[in-house]
Amino acid sequence: MTMDDLARLIKNPPIEYRPELRWWLAEGLHTDETLRHEIATAHRLGFGGMEFLAMDEGNIDHSRYGWGAEEWVNDSQIVVEETTKRNMSVSFTSGTNWSNANLPTIDADHPAAAKELDVVSEDPPAGAARKGTLPRIDLDAKPANQLLPGDRGDIHQQVLVAVVAARVLEENEAGAILDVDSVVDLTGQVRHEALEWTAPDDGSWRLFAYWMHGTGQTASPSASVNYTVNYLDPDGAQAVIDYWDSVVLTPKLREQIGRNPRAQMYMDSLELFTTGAGGVFWGRTVAEEFSARRGYDITPWLPFLTRTVEMMAASTTYHYEPREEHRVTVEKVRFDYVRTLTDLYIENMLRPLGAFLHENG
């Protein structure tokens, strides 16, 4: 290639190398002519593609104009048609708005909905015996922080995952120092969500009951209520695939996508939140997968994963720390946990969803 050739390419690059626009649509409120005009204008100005998504307009009938409604489906079809005939790329979101994959076909308790590991604790006196039902999570409690798009929907079900006890060496404003060597897994002693256990008489002890439940995270605007999907277990991706295969990808839309070699689904963010005291992203397969991949049981380490998470884990405060001689070990466990989540996200979400999309365009 000569310098003149390069200069010509820079001056008039092929459309696949041109910048693309992110198009925040006010739900399905646009006229067909407005959509056609905007895409024609973007093409004339030299843009090579459109990423489009539904944004909450407010004070309108979301059941008529929100993501999944007939008006939104019609607008989506026009966007695909108009970009395709100009050889522009077109990109869908994996649900309403940009923040995560979400669906109107599930609720917070569904296996395909996002899950978290929550915790409630007891501080029995030294040498004291406890018996009876373990404390449960108050699922009606108001979330302490709500910084991301979407509200928390109703959560009804919780499943006991683990019960752990540890000696508390020191309390401070941030949380507490736990004795790693004292941690005991009591899960096997639980019967019908009840536990009989006597706290040792050597110091202060804390009993942790870990329960899995839905995060309840929703996304808007939607024609109904969209719940964030489970990114860790296979159920989440399969529910997304089933919905798109049976509802979104109509024969007409499939035909249009088949004509556009740069039709895409973009997953802009992983804007996920937990609302409970545990702060641990979870799923029904996480403990088993952790053991298989990392070679040890995660259960005794759960207190050291308990945390407050804000803004998608960009700011994480752990509630319990070890003594200095165990700090490196605990940091490795925390790394192994995150590594396992990454593995599951790739294997159970990205790969199956990617394979489905490639099969359909």
Q: Is 266 in the same domain as 282? A: no
Same domain, 35 and 58: yes
Residue 301 has pLDDT above 60, yes or no: yes
Q: Which residues constitute the domain of residue 208?
A: 115-213+277-345
Same domain? 78 vs 170: no
252 and 141 belong to one structural domain: no
Question: Could you check whether the bond before residue 221 is cis, i.e. omega within 30 degrees of 0?
Answer: yes
Tell me the pLDDT tens digit for each residue of 55-91. 998 889 999 999 999 999 999 999 999 999 999 999 9
pLDDT band at 325 (very low <50, low <70, confident <90, very high): very high
| Prediction pTM value | 0.93
* pLDDT, position 127: 95
Q: 206 and 294: one domain? A: yes
264 CB-contact burial (10 Å; exposed 0-12 / middle 13-18 / buried 19+): middle
Task: Assign 66 to helix, strand or coil.
Answer: coil
For the segment 327-333, the average pLDDT, to the nearest whole number, is 98
Query: Do the Cβ atoms of 143 and 152 come closer than 8 Å?
Result: yes
Same domain, 61 and 85: yes
Contact yes or no for 299/185 (Cβ under 8 A): yes
Mean pLDDT of the residues in the chain: 94
* pLDDT confidence bin for 39, thresholds 50/70/90: very high
- The string of pLDDT tens digits covering residues 6-17 is 888 888 899 999
Same domain as 183, residue 41: no
Over residues 165-193, the mean pLDDT reads 96
Residue 27 has pLDDT above 90, yes or no: yes
Distance separating alpha carbons of residues 124 and 309, to the nearest angstrom: 27
Residues 200, 286 share a domain? yes
Residue 131 — pLDDT band, cuts 50, 70, 90?
very high
Phi and psi of 251, rounded to 5°? -55, -40
Token pair 């407010």 is found at 58
Split into its structural domains, the chain has a count of 2
Q: Which of 296, 321, 293, 287 is nearest to 307 (CA)?
A: 321
Residue 3 falls inside a structural domain: no
Q: Are residues 228 and 100 in the same domain?
A: yes
| pLDDT single digits (tens) 313-322 | 667 899 999 9
| C-alpha–C-alpha distance, residues 321 and 305, integer Å | 9
Q: Are residues 144 and 224 located together in one domain of the fold?
A: no
pLDDT at 312: 61
- Is beta strand 204-214 parallel, antiparallel or unpaired with respect to 158-171? antiparallel
Q: Which of 234, 223, 224, 265 is CA-nearest to residue 360?
A: 265
Which residues are CB-neighbours of 2 under 8 A, at least 6 positions away? none
Q: Which residue has the tokens 């059941």?
A: 63
Query: Cα separation of 70 and 278, whole Å?
Result: 40
Q: At 174, which amino acid appears?
A: A
Query: Is residue 18 one of the residues assigned to a domain?
Result: yes
Residue 7 lies in a domain: no
Residue 148: predicted pLDDT: 55
Look at residue 31 and tell me if it is in a domain: yes
Same domain, 101 and 125: no
Determine how many CB atoms are found less than 10 A away from the CB of residue 229.
30
Residue 150 lies in a domain: yes
Do both 142 and 225 map to the same domain?
A: no
On whether residue 21 sits in a domain, the answer given is yes
**Domain-embedded: residue 268:** yes
Structural tokens at position 274: 């937990």
The candidate with the shortest Cα–Cα distance to 56, out of 30, 34, 26, 76, is 26
For tokens 């992983």, the residue is: 270
pLDDT, position 309: 79
Categorize the per-residue pLDDT at 147 as very low, low, confident or very high, splitting at 50, 70 and 90.
low
Residue 170 lies in a domain: yes
Q: How far, in Å, are 41, 58, 85, 309 from residue 276 at the CA level?
A: 47, 28, 48, 10
**For the chain, what percent of residues have pLDDT higher than 70?**
97
DSSP assignment string, 96-144: SSSSS-EESS--TTSTTB-EEEEEEEE-PPTT-EE-SBPP---TTSPPS
